[in-house]
A and B are shown apart, each in its own frame.
Chain A
Amino acid sequence: MNKLLIHPAAKPVVFLLCLAPFAWLAYGAFTDGLGANPAEALIRSTGDWTLRFLCIVLAVTPVRVMLKLNGLARFRRMLGLFVYFYVVVHLLSYGWFDMGFDLGEIARDIVKRPFILVGFAAFVLLTPLAATSANRIIKAMGAKRWQTLHKLIYVIAGLGLLHFFWMRAGKNNFSEVFVYAAIIGVLMAWRVWDFMRKRKVKAANARVAASLTAGAGMPSRPLSR
C-alpha cells in the first residue's frame, strides 16, 4: 500500500479524483442536469463537498499513524487545498446565483443570517491556511509557527459544522449533520488520545532521564515515543 502511495502517478490520480465532483457539477450546470432549482443544488453540493474534503484531510494523520501508511503524508497539502477550492466555489455560487454579486446585499446577508456569518468566518479563517501552503512560506515561517497557525483547522471544522447545523435547524433535519459531526468528532478524539499518549511517553522519558542524571542506574530498555 505504501508503495502505491509513493508511485509517481498517485498524486495526479488523486488530484483528478478530487476534481471529479466539481467536473460533475459543472457538467450538470451546463446540461440542465441539476434539477428544478439548479442554483440551490450547486450551492448545497459545493458546501457538502467542502465538508467532505474537510473530513478527508482531517483523517489523513490518524489513518497514517494507525495504519503506518507514511506515504499518505504527501497528499495532505493537496487535500487541504481542495477544501479551500470547494469552499471558494461554494462562496462564489452563493454570491453569484443567490445574490447576483451584489456586494452590499451580500454584506447585509452576512450580518443578518448567523449561519451565513459562521460560514463566512470559516472561509476567512481558512484563507491564511491556504495562503501558507508553499514550501517557501513554511520555511520562512518556521515549522513551529506554521503548525500553530494550522491548528486553526480545528476551529474551522467546528464553524463548518455549526454552519451546516444552523442551516438545517429550521427543519429539524439533523441526520446528515450528525454524520459529519460524528466523523469529525472521532477524528478529533483520536488527536486528543494521541496527545495524551505522547505526553505520557514524554513524562516517562523525562522521569527516566531524571533518574539517569541522579545516577539511579540504566533502565534495561529506553522508552520511546
Chain B
Amino acid sequence: MLIPPRDNGFNHPIPSEITPRAIYEGRRDMLRLLGTAAAGTALAGWAARDAWAQTPPPGKLAALKSVKSTVPGAQSMEKVTDYKDATTYNNYYEFGTDKADPAKNAGTLKTRPWSVEIEGLVKKPGRYDIEDLLKLSAQEERIYRLRCVEGWSMVIPWVGYSLAELIKKVEPQGNARYVEFLTLADPKTMPFVGSRVLDWPYAEGLRMDEAMHPLTLLTFGMYGEVLPNQNGAPVRLVVPWKYGFKSAKSIVKIRFVEKEPGTAWNKAAANEYGFYSNVNPNVDHPRWSQATERRIGDGGGLFAKRRKTEMFNGYEAQVASLYAGMDLKKNF
C-alpha cells in the first residue's frame, strides 16, 4: 500500500492529464457493448442447447432426436470421448474378446425386427416391440461417465430414458425384488457365442431400487444417433455408477424376480466380479487397483496421466443412499 507523506497532502494531477468526461464515458460504453456481445454469443449456444441436446451427430447412423435431460447428474461437463474411440474400443464378447473385434464383427447383428420380452413377477408381461419401446417415453440425452472394470473410462452422450418409465408401465408385483436382463445369444450372427469364455446368454441384474433409480438409463442411442451394433444396438442398459459390464447390451428379455439373479461375470469369476460391482476406488479388483483410471482420448495420449477414480464413478450424491448401511467391501 502506498502511504503518501503527510506534508504532501492531496495529490493534484496536472490538468492536462485528466481524462475528459466524454472520452472516459465513451470507453465505458465500448466495454459494456463488448461484454454484451460476448455474453450474447455464449448465451446463444446455451439457449440452443436447452432446446435440443447439444452433441453434434457424427452422421454415421440414423439420427435419434432427444431433449436435454434434467435428471440430476445426467449432464457431465467433461470432454466427450471421440465417437471413433467410443465405437472402436469395446467389450462385447459375443463378437470377440479383443476390443477391436466388436467394431469389425458386429455388422452381422440384425437389429430389426426386435422385441423385448417382459416376464416374471409383473402384472403386464408380454413382448414389447422396439418401435413401441422407442416411443414409450421422451428420449433424453444424458452425458455419463463410463468406467470399465479394467481401469479405463470414457464420457458418452447416451440417448434414452429412465428404465423406471418402462418398469412403471409393466407394473411389477410386490414380491419382485430384482430385475434380470438377458441379452441376445445368436450363434449364427455372433461368432463367439460358441466360445467358453462366458455362459451365454449374457445375463445381468439389478436390485429393484437400482433399476428404478432415475440415472439407470434404457438406452437406444448415443451421440444423437441410434446405437451402433458394437455398442449394444438396438437397446441396452447404462448404469453409470457401476462398472461397464453391468450395463447389458442388445437386451431381449427383462425378467422380474424375487431372488438375486446370477450374472455372467459373477458366474465366470465370483471372487473378482460381484453382483453390485459399484465403481469404488477403495475396493480393488483382486488383480489390479481400482484407485485410478485411464481416460480414453485424454489430451496427452500415451503420456496422459491416469486420473483418480471417484466413488460411485462420481454419482455418489445421487446413489449413495441406495447402499446406506451396506458393507461395500463385502458386497463388492
Contact = CB atoms under 8 A, between A and B. Distances in A.
B89 A172 contact: no
Contacts of A122: none
A37 B284 contact: no
A114 B84 CA distance: 34
B213 interface: no
A171 B97 contact: yes
Given A35-B100, A39-B294, A172-B196, A115 B287 contact: yes
A40 B288 CA distance: 14
Interface string B303-322: 10110000000000000000
Interface in B198-219: 198
A170 B198 CA distance: 11
Greatest chain B CB density within 10 A among A29, A40, A114, A170 is at: A170
Contact of A172 (B198, B296, B302, B303): B198
B113 to A, nearest CB: 32
Interface in B234-265: none
B197 A100 contact: no
Contacts of A115: 287
A105 to B, nearest CB: 9
A197 interface: no
A35 B285 CA distance: 25
A38 B197 CA distance: 25
A36 B99 CA distance: 10
Interface string A94-128: 00011010000000010011110000000000000
Given A35-B89, A166-B287, A172 B269 contact: yes
A157 interface: no
Chain A contact-residue range equals 20 to 34
Interface string B268-298: 1100100000000000110111000010110
A79 B289 CA distance: 35
A113 B151 CA distance: 14
A187 B29 CA distance: 85
A171 B99 CA distance: 13
Contacts, number: 55
Contacts of A97: 302-303
A37 B152 contact: yes
B197 A173 contact: yes
B196 A114 contact: no
Contacts of B97: 171, 173
B85 interface: yes
A97 B284 CA distance: 20
A113 B301 contact: no
A40 B306 CA distance: 12
Nearest to B197: A172
Nearest to B152: A37
B287 A170 contact: yes
Given A170-B269, A170-B287, A173-B197, A100 B306 contact: yes
B272 A170 contact: yes
B305 A100 contact: yes
Contacts of A38: 301-302
A90 to B, nearest CB: 15
Interface in A119-154: none
Contacts of A169: 269, 287
Contacts of A173: 97, 197
A32 B302 CA distance: 9
A42 interface: yes
Contacts of B285: 170
A172 to B, nearest CB: 5
Greatest chain A CB density within 10 A among B88, B100, B301 is at: B301
Interface of A: 29, 32, 34-40, 42, 97-98, 100, 109, 112-115, 166, 169-173
13 contacts: A32-B301, A35-B89, A36-B88, A36-B297, A38-B301, A39-B294, A97-B302, A100-B305, A113-B287, A113-B288, A170-B269, A172-B198, A172-B269
